[in-house]
Each structure stands twice: as structure tokens, then as C-alpha cells.
């Protein structure tokens, strides 16, 4: 069994004396990616043995812990950027290490190392054990057994490490050329293409062991246009758990058109008068409101600690009976999907709200034990340096029973919010402020003047309760969404159909 040498440099873990490594010298074939890769491969990849894992788990439980797990990660990522018509920057990063978690009653101990020698892993395990000292005698971990993952939601045809930088560059150049060709007011385009691949090996004291191969692809195009003395900008982005088959002329064409369309509409847009009014949330990107202002309040750690407004609302009606809210880890190729979460639970589809009733929180292993139920597969972490916590995956509202036109026709005076950018949310209470990049005035049941650069202000749970109509035009926003919580960032997605919120505060002109 050979050991692989790593050099830590400035917070990054770089491979020593190897150029452009292919899975540390091993190429994983397309066929292997599309099938359940064996644990022997994973053990060889990380340079460890089952005996090593058993010894580390035993050390993690030596102070009386109830449970322990090991999370190995090897991730490598690449990014290229285009400015002024040329791909002029590229960078890569390699990260490698493992974390040990110990649970003892309400205590959690965690430690990680960036080299996976047995001695260093044992040191991390004993550190975590001392943090979470239990009251029972030390127990031995159950014998390890490979867990077969039932589904692969992100099968890769061609691994990213098989594609050289020079093969990626033409796609950004095509994107640049396509944006310029669509409108003569375009004065500048910036674009980026990123890819990452993570190898995950997990083992716990209950005898579970699994391996997951996690790809990711992202592309962003920013369009800047000038019309007279006015300059406007907008963007388009896409991200999927895919290999290099992500790169197609179709996605280039779609993103170029989207970036130009979203930018050009801003030249006619005004900033409307503010006040309290009905707001129609456009399909797709409005799901960010669902995620931030409502979804976080469904995460079980906030409810377990009674900091969420929904802490006492389980199995109660909280909104219109036409509303169904889902958090789903099983959508093929979706940025937020997980074959198996970072707690060792398979990805699944969870109804949070069904026909207006709050039916489930989003659980990791700890919260599930607290509530005496099975985990929903929402235990996620940013990397091996972090503990898993309840996190959303792909959060969306299912389609309703009316058309968008019918919804708009009921509004005498209000706004239609098309694209959101950023905002602030008080997670426990759900109070929010979101910035709407563009949309339309609604006057006498029709979309009229384009609008831009406004805020909508309200309370997430109240906005959900005030949602009176849900459209039949469900759309997932497959942009480059990432969710931050407790200092960790995770890839997510969001979506929804068009929906009417009967009243929100719109911050516009006085």
C-alpha cells in the first residue's frame, strides 16, 4: 500500500512533485464513475486500510462516546476566466484530509487532519474523544460493511480530469462572441468556467462505509451594455453535478440570450413608488425567497433549539392548501443533489409542507435522534474541516393550479418580481429584505413598465401564509447558488412557480 505525499501551502494542499495529476496518478474510467465504485478502490485512493479505520474509530470511542464517524475528502477544482475577449487567467486547487466526529449525549467533539497517516488520524480521534467525553464505558465499533448506494443522481460520462484547459477555453470564447453578436450595445463581457471533483470516503462506528464521487460544473456570463449615456449590466449562470458533457453549444446559446435579455430590459426600467402592495413572485429565481426567508426556519437544529418560528408548528396548517414545499436531494444532475449525505444517509425527497400543513423538518443525524425519527438526509458539511449540520439541498415549491396570467389579472396595482440578487434574513424569525434586480409594474391586471433596483421587505412565514395563488409554471433555477450557515458554505438550488403574496413592503421611490 503506497502512501501519497502532500505539501501544505498557504492553506491549500498541493500535490508534491506531480504536474496535472489524474486522480493522483489513477484514471477513473467513465464506466467506473457510472457504477458503484468499490470500497477497495476508495481505500487505495486515500492510502488507508479497513484496519486503520477500525483503529481510529476505536480511539474515537475510548472516552465513552455513543457514536463516531470518519469523513475523508479529496477535492480538486479548476477555474478559467475570460476578460476583454481572451481567456486570461486560470487556477487550480487541491484539498485533502479527513475529519473525526464523536457524539456523546449532547456533546460533539470534532477534529481534522490534512495528512491521513495512522498516527495523525489517531491523534485527531483522541482529540475529538476528549471534547465529547461520555459517561459510559468505551465500546468497540461495529465491523465495517460497505453500504450500497441505491441511486447515482450524477452519473458522469467524461471526467473533468480528462479535459485539458485548452479544450475548455473555446467554450468561453464562444460565449463571449455569442453575447456580442446578439446586441450591438454590448461593450464588455466577462465569463468564467469552473469544475470540481470530490472523492468522499465515509465510515462510522455503526459499521457503515461508503464512497461517493461528486462532480460539479459552473459557468457564469456577465454582460455590460451601453445605450447613450446609460450603462447596465446583468448576468446568466448555470451549475450542475456533471462532468465535461456539461459543455455544449446549447448551454452557451441559452446563457448568452439570457444575459443579453436581462441586461437590455434594464434600459427601459424605472424605480417605482414604494409602499405595501401585492407582489407576484416570478417562476424560478424567486425560490431564493423560499430558501432564505422560509427554508432555513424548517431546518431542524433551529427548531430543536426553539429559535425558529416554526418550532411549535409541526403537523399544523401554516399556509394555503395549494402549497407544497419540497427539499429534494434526488434530482438528476442537480447542484444540490446528494447520493448520500455527509451523515451517511441516502439522498431523498422530503415534503416539508404538504397541502399547507408543516409535515417535516430537515434533519441530520443529531436532530433526528432528538425527535426520535429517521434522518431526512440533510446532514451536510462544507468540507472535511467541518461537522455536518442540517442544510437544504434543492428547495422548491410544487406547481399550483392556475396560470401566471390568471394570477397577474387579479392584481390592480402591484409588482412582478422577476430576478433577485442578494438580501438579508433573520433566520429564526424570518424577517427579510431582498434586492430585486428587475421586474414589472402590474397595473389593472397587466404587466406594464419594467422596474429595477428595488427592495421587498417582509417576514418569511407571514409571506408564506399570505401566499394566496400558486401558478402551474414550476421552474427550477439552475444557477450557481451557494448557502452560507454557521461559517459553512454548501451548493444548493431553489425554484418555484409564479405565486401571489397578497402584501409585502416594496422599497422604491417615495
Does the pLDDT value for residue 88 go beyond 70? yes
For 128-147, write each residue's pLDDT tens digit: 999 998 666 667 777 778 77
Per-residue pLDDT at 135: 63
pLDDT band at residue 193 using 50, 70 and 90 as cut-offs = very high
pLDDT at 4 over 70: no
- The pLDDT tens digits for 208-260 are 999 999 999 999 999 999 999 999 999 999 999 999 999 999 999 999 999 99
Checking if the pLDDT of 18 tops 70, the result is no
- What string of DSSP letters covers 326-347? EEES-STTBTT--SB-TTS-B-
pLDDT at 141: 78
Secondary structure element (H or E) that encloses residue 367, with its range:
helix 365-371
What rounded mean pLDDT belongs to the chain? Answer: 90
Write down the pLDDT at residue 137. 65
pLDDT of residue 39: 87
- Residues with Cβ within 8 Å of residue 149, at least 6 apart in sequence: 36, 210, 212, 339, 340, 346
- pLDDT at residue 106 in the model: 86
Q: Which of 111-125, 134-148, 169-183 has the lowest mean pLDDT?
A: 134-148
Query: How much is the pLDDT for 134?
Result: 64
What distance in Å separates the CA atoms of residue 29 and residue 331, rounded to the nearest whole number? 24
Main-chain phi, psi angles of 30, to 5 degrees: -55, -40
pLDDT at 27: 34
Asked if residue 264 has pLDDT above 60, the reply is yes
Rounded percentage of the chain residues whose pLDDT exceeds 90: 82
pLDDT above 90 for 429: no
Query: pLDDT (tens digit, 9 = 90+) per residue, 24-37?
Result: 223 333 333 333 45
> What pLDDT score was predicted for residue 144?
78
- Strands of the sheet with 349-354, listed across from one edge: 357-358, 349-354, 325-328, 394-397, 493-496, 475-477
- pLDDT at residue 147, as a whole number: 74
CA 453 to chain centre: 26
> Would the pLDDT of 427 be above 90?
no
Give the pLDDT confidence score for residue 33 in this predicted structure: 38
Of the ranges 1-10, 188-197, 225-234, which one carries the lowest mean pLDDT score? Answer: 1-10
Torsion of CA 316, 322, 328, 332, to 10 degrees: 170
Per-residue confidence (pLDDT) for residue 412, from 0 to 100 = 97
Res 184 pLDDT > 90: yes
Identify the pLDDT of residue 72.
98
DSSP 19: S
Give pLDDT, residue 43. 95
Confidence class for position 9, pLDDT limits 50, 70, 90: very low
Average pLDDT over residues 425-432: 83
Q: What percent of the chain has pLDDT over 70?
A: 92
* Residue 169 clears pLDDT 50, i.e. is over it: yes
State the pLDDT at residue 245: 97
Query: Is residue 281 within a helix (H) or strand (E), and if so which, with residue range?
Result: strand 275-281
pLDDT value at residue 139? 72
Amino acid at each position: 500500500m503506497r502512501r501519497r505525499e502532500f505539501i501544505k501551502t498557504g492553506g491549500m494542499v498541493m500535490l508534491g512533485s506531480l504536474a496535472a495529476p489524474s486522480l493522483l496518478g489513477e484514471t477513473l474510467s467513465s464506466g467506473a464513475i457510472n457504477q458503484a465504485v468499490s470500497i477497495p478502490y476508495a481505500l487505495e485512493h486515500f492510502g488507508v486500510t479497513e484496519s486503520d479505520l477500525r483503529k481510529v474509530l476505536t480511539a474515537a470511542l475510548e472516552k465513552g462516546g455513543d457514536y463516531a464517524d470518519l469523513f475523508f475528502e479529496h477535492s480538486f477544482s479548476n477555474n478559467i476566466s475570460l476578460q476583454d475577449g481572451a481567456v486570461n487567467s486560470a487556477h487550480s486547487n487541491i484539498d485533502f484530509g479527513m475529519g473525526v466526529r464523536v457524539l456523546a449525549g449532547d456533546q460533539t467533539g470534532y477534529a481534522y487532519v490534512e495528512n491521513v497517516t495512522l498516527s495523525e488520524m489517531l491523534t485527531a480521534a483522541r482529540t475529538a474523544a476528549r471534547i465529547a467525553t461520555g459517561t459510559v464505558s468505551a465500546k468497540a465499533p461495529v465491523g465495517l460493511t460497505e453500504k450500497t448506494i441505491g441511486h447515482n443522481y450524477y452519473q458522469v460520462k467524461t471526467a473533468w480530469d480528462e479535459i485539458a484547459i485548452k479544450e475548455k477555453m473555446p467554450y468561453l470564447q464562444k460565449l463571449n462572441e455569442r453575447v456580442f453578436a446578439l446586441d450591438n450595445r454590448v461593450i464588455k463581457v466577462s465569463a468564467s468556467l469552473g469544475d470540481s471533483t470530490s472523492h468522499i470516503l465515509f465510515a462510522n462506528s455503526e459499521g457503515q462505509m461508503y464512497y461517493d464521487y461528486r462532480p460539479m460544473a459552473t459557468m457564469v456570463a456577465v454582460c455590460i451594455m451601453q445605450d447613450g449615456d446609460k450603462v447596465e449590466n446583468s448576468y446568466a449562470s448555470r451549475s450542475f453535478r456533471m462532468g465535461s458533457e456539461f459543455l455544449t453549444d446549447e448551454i452557451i446559446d441559452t446563457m448568452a440570450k439570457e444575459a443579453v435579455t436581462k441586461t437590455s430590459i434594464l434600459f427601459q426600467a424605472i424605480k417605482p413608488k414604494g409602499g405595501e402592495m401585492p407582489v407576484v413572485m416570478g417562476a424560478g429565481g424567486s425560490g431564493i425567497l423560499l430558501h432564505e426567508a422560509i427554508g432555513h426556519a424548517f431546518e431542524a437544529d433551529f427548531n430543536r433549539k426553539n429559535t425558529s418560528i416554526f418550532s411549535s408548528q409541526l403537523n399544523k396548517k401554516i399556509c394555503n392548501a395549494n402549497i407544497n414545499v419540497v427539499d429534494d436531494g434526488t434530482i438528476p444532475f442537480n447542484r444540490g443533489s446528494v447520493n448520500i449525505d455527509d451523515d451517511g444517509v441516502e439522498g431523498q425527497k422530503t415534503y416539508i409542507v404538504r397541502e399547507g400543513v408543516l409535515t417535516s423538518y430537515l434533519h441530520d443525524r443529531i436532530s433526528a435522534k432528538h425527535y426520535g425519527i429517521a434522518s431526512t438526509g440533510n446532514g451536510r458539511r462544507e468540507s472535511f474541516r467541518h461537522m455536518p449540520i442540517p442544510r437544504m439541498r434543492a428547495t422548491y415549491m410544487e406547481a399550483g393550479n392556475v396560470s401566471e396570467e390568471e394570477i397577474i389579472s387579479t392584481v390592480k396595482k402591484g409588482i412582478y418580481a422577476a430576478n433577485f440578487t442578494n438580501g438579508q434574513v433573520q433566520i429564526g424569525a424570518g424577517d427579510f429584505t431582498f434586492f430585486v434586480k428587475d421586474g414589472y409594474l402590474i397595473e389593472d391586471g397587466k404587466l406594464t413598465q419594467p422596474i429595477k433596483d428595488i427592495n421587498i421587505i417582509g417576514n418569511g412565514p407571514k409571506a408564506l401564509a399570505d401566499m394566496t395563488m400558486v401558478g402551474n409554471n414550476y421552474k427550477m433555477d439552475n444557477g450557481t447558488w451557494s448557502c452560507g450557515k454557521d461559517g459553512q458554505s454548501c451548493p444548493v438550488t431553489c425554484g418555484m412557480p409564479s405565486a401571489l403574496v397578497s402584501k409585502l413592503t416594496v422599497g422604491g421611490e417615495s
